[in-house]
Amino acid sequence: MIQSSVDMERAVLELGFLPFFSCGIPGFSVEEMTARELWFAADDDGPWEWKGPVIREGHCAYGKIFNKKAGYVSTEWLPDMINYRRSLHYAKDEDTAALDDAVLQTIEAEGSATVKELRRLLGFARGRGRRSRTDIVDYIPESGKVSLEPILTRLMMGMRIVIADFEYNIDRHGNPYGWGVARYATPETLYGRQDAGRSPEASRNRIIEHMKKILPSAKEEGIRRLIL
């Protein structure tokens, strides 16, 4: 059972992959490995608060990478995950792909960014005011606000970006509070150049075989659905 951020990191490193929430494979998630009372403890940190510390240790990448749901992959398996996922296409058309690329380029140029920073940098839904010549994309009026959530999800599924950390508001006593705000960055920014040294198909097969070993009772269909 996971009872601390150290336990959570250890589980990721031992398994290589670990969804945060229930994923259709019984028992294979932080949610199912952690006692329910730890999720809602008033005085102690729980899985929500452990995410940032585990990411900051630098051994586990985190993002929406399992069927559009959050989870971890260890840096040992990160090159293969990147190699395979970047061979796939998650944008439905060229316009969507262009929008995804604009967001990705902005994150790469800045080093990292939150959703609020991306909206400002891209000129999305700025309300009234004149456009700047430095706007990366055409101005989008408030009535036509673009949601960054699906864009960021596609980029995470494609392993183009991951979550670098979570940032919290601080009260007058210096204590963090509220929901953490995700900061996004490319895997290369956080972990350096990633080279699996094999074809995307070979990386895919290697991941599937590993999943079969750590999840012997799981159906192969469920495993394949999880890594697509």
Q: Which tens digits make up the pLDDT trace of 164-178?
A: 999 987 778 777 766
Whether the Cβ atoms of residue 73 and residue 16 lie closer than 8 Å to each other: yes
Alpha carbon distance 177, 30 (integer Å):
22
* Listed residue (158, 185, 147) closest to 91, CA to CA: 158
pLDDT the model gives residue 135: 42
pLDDT the model gives residue 175: 74
pTM of the complete model: 0.88
Which residue(s) pair with 165 in the sheet? 183
**Owner of token pair 């890594």:** 227
Alpha carbon distance 113, 184 (integer Å):
5
pLDDT the model gives residue 43: 67
Contacts 24+ apart (CB under 8 A), 147-150: 148/103, 148/115, 148/118, 148/119, 148/124
As given in the structure block, the two tokens for residue 90 are: 């998650």
Q: In what order do the strands lie in the sheet with 69-74?
A: 17-19, 69-74, 60-66, 162-170, 176-185
> Which stretches of the chain score pLDDT less than 70?
42-43, 125-145, 177-178
Alpha carbon distance 148, 227 (integer Å):
23
As given in the structure block, the two tokens for residue 141 are: 């009026």
Tell me the residue ranges of DSSP E strands in 108-193.
162-170, 176-185
Tell me the residue ranges of DSSP E strands in 41-195.
60-66, 69-74, 162-170, 176-185
pLDDT the model gives residue 4: 94
Alpha carbon distance 111, 165 (integer Å):
13
